[in-house]
Amino acid sequence: MRSSQPILVPDALAGQPLDVVVDMFETGHGGGVVERPSEHGKTVPHGIFAVAEQGHYEIACGDGRAAVLAPGEGFLTPAHLPLRITHCGDPAAGGMLRIRWLHFRYLLYGALDLDELLEYPLRVGVRDSVRFMAIARRLAALNADGGRPPLYREAARRELAFRTLRLLLALSRPRPEAAAVQAGGLHFLPVLHYLRRHLAEPLDVAHLARLCHLSPPQFHVRFRRAFGCPPMAFVKRQRLAEAARRLRAEGTLKEIAAATGFGGPFHLSREFSRAFGQSPALYRRQLRAGLA
């Protein structure tokens, strides 16, 4: 689901409306008997909120943070952060584990991850976790209710997505580089909007520079200063994020590679595995298995 709505971010970031696109907003749940702690690693192109309703999580992040969560506490992590997640069953209930999660990706100006502006707390207390879980349950019920008209379902989905965004903003603080990233987003709006529409096509720095009326060297320097990475690295990140979004549907790897500008399934698989530490096929299997 994609939707767009003007929203104000905290004053520390800016005092002007920003166009926010809900690029991903999904929920799921899973569980079973976990006789001993089960660990898996992942890096994903979206934010995660996850909570164990029975049992608990242990989590370690690539930025050095780690937490052993109490039952009912959740964790909140941004996109592109390496994670080691351990599922621990409830010994008093024979090792039973029940988990629920939200996956989200909010884009500013159609291309900038909200995660690039905000620092999320790793540990989410029980009270706030209950609020996230209430949204997740409502979203799950909405997904299961096929009797509602499509317009009603879309309106309800957007309402839940922006309610989640309000919670994220209340729990987070601006990153130190947030103002520079936001200013860069405004300056390079023509490029960001072009990328969103043309990811499947060949792209190069010279063409992107012309959109901003800059020479390629000027464009490269200013873009890297604004976003912290070279232009083509930014393009690759956008392509991989779109590929991950499409993996949630039923398209084949060949179709997804063609739609996101990769040379073929092998090229997509290689770049996806390099970025996220898992193949597209494994990423899709974990989603279907309900692993947060």
Of 140, 174, 208, the position where a domain reaches its end is 174
How are the residues of the chain apportioned to helix, strand and coil, as percentages rounded to the nearest 5?
A: 45, 25, 30
Statement to judge: residues 63 and 111 lie in one domain: yes
Q: Which own/partner contact pairs does 234-239 have at CB distance under 8 Å and 24+ positions apart?
A: 235/195, 235/199, 235/203, 235/261, 236/271, 236/275, 237/45, 237/80, 237/275, 238/111, 238/195, 238/196, 238/199, 239/199
Statement to judge: residues 89 and 137 lie in one domain: yes
Statement to judge: residues 29 and 156 lie in one domain: yes
What Rg, from alpha-carbon coordinates, does the chain have?
Answer: 19
Assigned domain for 90 exists: yes
Assigned domain for 181 exists: no
Assigned domain for 183 exists: no
Statement to judge: residues 56 and 196 lie in one domain: no
Predicted pLDDT of residue 30: 87
Statement to judge: residues 169 and 205 lie in one domain: no
Assigned domain for 180 exists: no
Low-confidence ranges of the chain (pLDDT < 50): 1-15, 292
Statement to judge: residues 237 and 200 lie in one domain: yes
Statement to judge: residues 21 and 165 lie in one domain: yes
The model's pTM is 0.84
Phi and psi angles of residue 186, each rounded to the nearest 5 degrees, phi first: -65, -45
Distance CA 250, CA 246 (A): 8
Statement to judge: residues 57 and 87 lie in one domain: yes
User: Which two tokens mark 68?
Assistant: 């052993």
Statement to judge: residues 207 and 125 lie in one domain: no
Predicted pLDDT of residue 145: 87
Predicted pLDDT of residue 99: 94
Structurally, how many domains does the chain consist of? 2
Predicted pLDDT of residue 169: 94
User: Helices 150-171 and 126-144, interaxial angle, to 10°?
Assistant: 170
Statement to judge: residues 206 and 107 lie in one domain: no
Of 139, 174, 209, the position where a domain reaches its end is 174
Statement to judge: residues 106 and 132 lie in one domain: yes
For residue 11, the domain's CATH number is 2.60.120.10
Distance CA 132, CA 137 (A): 9
The whole domain housing 276 covers 188-289
